[in-house]
Amino acid sequence: MPDSNSRNPRKHSQEEIQDLTSAFRDFNIIIERFQETYQGLQNKIDFLNQIVEKKNAELEAQIQEGDNIKNLLNGILEHIYTGVVVINTTGEIIVFNKAAEEITRYDKEEVLGKNYLKLFGNAQVRNKSPLYTLATGKESFHRRKIMRSKDKKPIDVEFSSTLVKNMKDEIIGVVETFNDISEIRNLQRRVTQVETLAALGEMAANVAHEIRNPLGGIGGFAGLLDRKLAKDDPNRKLIKPIVEGVSRLNVIVSDLLSFTRPQKLNPVKVCLQDTLQEIIDFFQISLGNMDKDVELKKQFPEKEIQVYLDSQLFQQIVINLLKNAYDAIEDTGTIEVRIRQNVPESLSEILDEDEKDELLRMFSYLEIDIIDDGVGIPEEMLPKLFNPFFTTKDDGNGLGLAITRKIINLHKGDINVTSELHKGTTFTISLPLYETYHEL
Ligand code: ADP
Ligand code: MG
């Protein structure tokens, strides 16, 4: 077989070179075009990159704004006092705010993703659950129901439930808002209790009034008898307890009457420090006859404080409180009387100078503390302290604090107590300042 190389090698390579050259030319042209296209593409890419960068920046700004709004809404959700639960269309809890945690005692982690009915459902409130709203589309507004807390305790709540829809108007769940109203219910109960007490008080006042005359008679006749009997008559010793009994009954009767009768104030403008000093001096003298070792202290501000008071009634209430403090001390102890002028701190920061004086005066009030280091008061007793006839003393009538509170309320003030067992008790009277009183 003839070898291909055996043909004319020269001619062969010349042709080949020509072919190669034209191929190179073509190739170069293609390369050039390719480079042009590449450059064009590169330009396009650069342009697209710019657009992408711009879009990215816009998107980032949007996300940032979205985040801000989300944070704001979350902040609001977490700080409002209303419980908020949101369920999705399958009844799973997807939002549970802090107030909801506090009211129900569940932690967020324990309820998120759980079915609402499993946690808070029960037969009585079936048609008051958000699932009912989901199923029927019936929304609720300001209705009441009993929810169960984590420890299965009933909680009185007022609730509303509303459908949640997306932009396309499709239902995506239900939001239920609720407030614990047990406090309000307790207050309502207390109002009823106070009304009953007031009715009882009125009855007691009538009884006291009826007792007063015969009591006067008994006292009078006992005195008469005392004078009629001979000095050495053995029956004489029977009279003493009668006279003592009568005088105790008289105190009770006049306390009762002063508690139940509508009091009329006779207020005058006085310097609080001077008024309190007189009362303290008076009490100090009576301490001299008593057998406990009690030190009286005071802490008054230097600047004179003007108040509007019925001095006589004010003296009565401070003596009441001092006497209670004395009774609470076992053998030795201290009673301190403090005057504080309370200026709300937060207010003084936010006000500008012009409004300051005016508003500070409106929101400032006086506080008088009567502090003892006596036996203290058990916590469960605190709510009953101001009820008429509540006493723990053999010789008490339980009217002191009831009268005290009534008189302070007449002065548009208030009285509160804090106490720690075996450490002592502080009664705090708050009163409006003289100028404020006039505006009340
Ligand atoms: P009374 O003094 O006749 O008992 P009050 O109304 O003055 O009636 O007081 C009611 C009760 O409150 C007292 O019996 C006492 O148990 C309690 N109490 C009042 N003040 C104090 C105090 N400073 N420390 C401890 N207990 C007090
Ligand atoms: Mg008393």
pLDDT at residue 50, as a whole number:
93
Q: How far is the CA of 359 from the centre of ligand 2 (A)?
A: 37
Ligand 1: residue of 316, 317, 327 to mutate (most ligand atoms within 8 A of CB) is 327
Between CA 327 and CA 335 the distance in angstroms is: 11
In degrees rounded to 5, what are phi and psi of residue 266?
A: -125, 70
At 373, the amino acid letter reads D
User: What is the C-alpha separation between 381 and 378, in angstroms, rounded?
Assistant: 5
Compute the distance between CA of residue 235 and CA of residue 253 in angstroms, rounded to an integer.
28
**Residue to probe by mutation, ligand 1, list 375, 391, 397, most atoms within 8 Å of CB:** 391
Vertex 49 angle, CA 45 and 54, to 5°: 155
- Measured by CA distance, the residue closest to atom 8 of ligand 1 is 398
How many other CB atoms are there within 10 angstroms of residue 309's CB atom?
Answer: 23
Contact residues for 242 (Cβ-Cβ < 8 A; gap 6+): 218, 222
CA of 396 relative to ligand 1 center, distance in Å: 8
CA–CA dist 238, 222 (Å, integer): 10
Facing residues of 293 across strands?
Answer: 332
- The residue whose two tokens read 């020509």 is 18
User: Cα–Cα distance between 163 and 175 in angstroms, integer?
Assistant: 6
89: tokens are 């269309």
Query: In 310-392, at which residue ranges do the beta strands (DSSP E only) sit?
Result: 332-342, 365-372
Query: Measured between alpha carbons, how far is 285 from 413 in angstroms, rounded to an integer?
Result: 28
CA of 361 to the centre of ligand 2 (A): 33
Q: Which residues pair with 164 in a beta bridge?
A: 173
Encoded amino acid at 184, one letter: I
CB 166 within 8 A of CB 172: yes
- Residue 1 three-state SS: coil
Any idea what DSSP says for residue 92? B
CA 317/CA 405 separation, integer angstroms = 8
HSE-up of residue 109 (Cα within 13 Å, Cβ side): 0
What the block records as the tokens of 367 is 């506080």
Per-residue pLDDT of the chain (440 residues; tens, 9 = 90+): 445 455 565 667 888 888 888 888 988 998 898 899 899 999 999 999 999 999 999 999 999 998 898 899 899 999 999 999 999 999 999 999 999 999 999 999 999 999 998 888 776 677 888 988 988 989 988 899 998 899 988 889 999 999 999 999 999 999 999 999 988 887 888 777 777 777 777 787 788 888 888 888 998 898 888 888 888 888 888 888 888 889 888 888 887 777 777 678 888 999 999 999 999 999 998 888 788 999 999 999 998 888 889 998 999 899 999 999 999 999 999 999 999 987 666 666 666 667 666 666 667 788 999 999 999 999 999 989 998 889 999 988 888 998 899 899 988 899 999 999 999 999 999 988 776 666 55
- Is residue 164 helix, strand or coil? strand
Closest listed residue to residue 252, CA positions, set 395, 404, 401, 385: 395
Dihedrals φ, ψ of 385, to 5°? -50, -40
**DSSP-derived 3-state class of residue 99:** helix
Is the CB of 390 inside a 6 Å radius of any atom of ligand 1?
yes
pLDDT number for residue 87: 94
* Torsions phi, psi for 333 (to 5 deg): 180, -175
Orientation of helix 236-260 relative to helix 400-410, angle to 10°: 30
Whether residue 324 has its Cβ less than 6 Å from ligand 1: yes
For tokens 């030319």, the residue is: 25
The SS3 assignment for 398 reads coil
- Dig out the tokens for 270 from the structure: 């006085």
Residue 392 beta carbon below 6 angstroms from any ligand 1 atom: yes
* Residues 354, 338: Cα–Cα separation, whole Å: 31
pLDDT score, position 1: 47
Type of residue at 279: I
261 alpha carbon – ligand 1 mean position (Å): 22
Burial 429-438 (b: 16+ CB within 10 A, else e): bbbbbbebbe
Q: Is the CB of 425 under 6 A from ligand 1?
A: yes
